């Protein structure tokens, strides 16, 4: 997989629950599932808010891939910043 994103343009991602910080760092992509189906958030994605369920995958298909299982949550995307709140 070829990635043509400058390091300074990566997504800033935070995943947290009420009890803990699950992930905080930079990523090329965030993938999850909502009522419409699977979706990806890539750098410079439009502002976006959605309820999610089942999982969040950071950097899907890359060596840095990290998967977080969840029952439900919410994702907000604003100005290259992705915040995922688990257990909402």
Domain assignments of the chain as residue spans, ordered by start = 7-86
Q: What is the pLDDT, as a whole number, of residue 2?
A: 54
What is the DSSP secondary structure assignment for residue 85, as one 8-state letter? E
What is the DSSP secondary structure assignment for residue 45, as one 8-state letter? P
- Rounded to a whole number of angstroms, the distance between the first and last alpha carbons of the chain is 33
Q: What is the pLDDT, as a whole number, of residue 60?
A: 95
Q: What is the pLDDT, as a whole number, of residue 7?
A: 83
Residues 6+ apart with CB under 8 A from 11: 26, 27, 28, 29, 30, 41, 42, 43, 45, 80, 81, 82
Q: Report the run of H or E that residue 4 belongs to, with start and end.
A: none
- Tell me the whole-structure pTM to 2 decimals: 0.91
Given a cut of 70, the residues of the chain with pLDDT beneath it are 1-3
Select the CATH number that applies to the domain covering 7-86 from these four: 3.40.50.300, 2.60.15.10, 3.40.50.2000, 3.40.50.620. Answer: 2.60.15.10
């Amino acid at each position: 997989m070829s990635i043509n994103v400058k390091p300074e343009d990566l997504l800033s991602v935070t995943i947290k629950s009420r009890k803990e910080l699950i992930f905080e760092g930079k990523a090329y992509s965030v993938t999850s599932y909502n009522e419409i189906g699977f979706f990806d958030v890539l750098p410079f994605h439009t502002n976006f808010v959605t309820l999610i369920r089942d999982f969040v995958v950071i950097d899907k298909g890359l060596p840095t891939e990290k998967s977080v299982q969840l029952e439900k949550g919410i994702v907000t995307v604003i100005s290259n910043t992705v915040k995922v709140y688990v257990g909402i």
